[in-house]
Amino acid sequence: MVLSLYNATPRRILIFGSTGLLGSKLLQILYDKHAVICPTRSDFKIDDPQRLKFLVNLHSPDIVINCIAFTNVELAETQKEIAEEVNVNFIDRLTTILSEVQIPLLHFSTDYVFNSEFPHQFKEDDVTRPINHYGKTKLAGEDLIRKRLERFFIIRTAWLYGAKKKNFFCFIKNYNPENPLYIVNDQFGNPTSVDLVAEATLKLLQRYFTNTTNDASTYHITTDGTASWYDFTSHINKQLGLRLDITPISSKQFKEKMGTLASRPNYSSLDNSKFISVFKYDLPKWELCFEEFLKGN
């Protein structure tokens, strides 16, 4: 077992969802600094509270990190019960168990708990207003955590992309340049790499494990600045030299053209100043974050 970067005693961290986009990156960053336990689907089912309780009691972690989530915004409209099972009911079972043994939870949520028709960057305590079922289930999960646990970190992030797994960056990178590409230009948020979120989460954990103060709260970990999906796509296209034929369209036009069901926020950009202030960690502009991501991947 290797000592942490800060010469602190390695802690036991139980990660649920370690094979996904964000979970796999967290595992990559944490595994040589702490004792990380990563149950797989063969170890437990999210609808089995007894098995879940057994795993928590068996490993007795210093903190639990939950990366399990139903994140397909479109499918959440037609598979509402499955989205609720993953994003709400699993959190209900997990927080019930953790409250009994007084183990803290670090949980990831989304900018889609917000929506504004006008330019706005949301702070952690701003009024939530999800406009799709995915956002509603994620907010319900947040509410359960705040209601049931005394020690928790709810990390809202946005527009996550990475070098692996299914995500927007990989979709654009692998898009056939012979086909036209229609991208909405009236939805604005914070394009954020999983690399940045994982590194910032490591900083949070190191402070939590070594600090006597209680920083447990809700935080926004995103890049600085705001972009539309069209802005982000054009930037990917330029940086990678893809030569894609990109046509900007409105959200209304996109829904009509593609036949999608889920509504998406016009503005859901997150204000990250609270995290920067508390943890003294720089969260860069989205363009710089993307440049650093390309260098590392």
Phi, psi (5° rounding) for residue 219?
-135, 155
Dist. CA 267–CA 277, nearest whole Å:
24
Dist. CA 128–CA 141, nearest whole Å:
13
Beta strands in 20-140 (DSSP E): 35-37, 63-66, 105-110
What pLDDT band is residue 212 in, cutting at 50, 70 and 90?
A: low
pLDDT tens digit string along 73-128?
999 999 999 999 999 999 999 999 999 999 999 999 999 999 999 999 999 999 99
Q: Could you give the 3-state DSSP secondary structure of residue 152?
A: strand
What's the pLDDT at 8?
56
pLDDT tens digit string along 249-287?
999 999 999 999 999 999 999 999 999 999 999 999 999
Q: What is the pTM of this model?
A: 0.95
Domains of the chain and any CATH numbers: 12-162+192-224+268-284 (3.40.50.720)
Dist. CA 22–CA 160, nearest whole Å:
8
Q: What angle do CA 197, 193, 127 make, to 5 degrees?
A: 65
Residue with tokens 């969260």: 283
Report CA Rg, the chain.
19
Distance of CA 140 to the CA centre of its chain: 16
Dist. CA 67–CA 38, nearest whole Å:
11
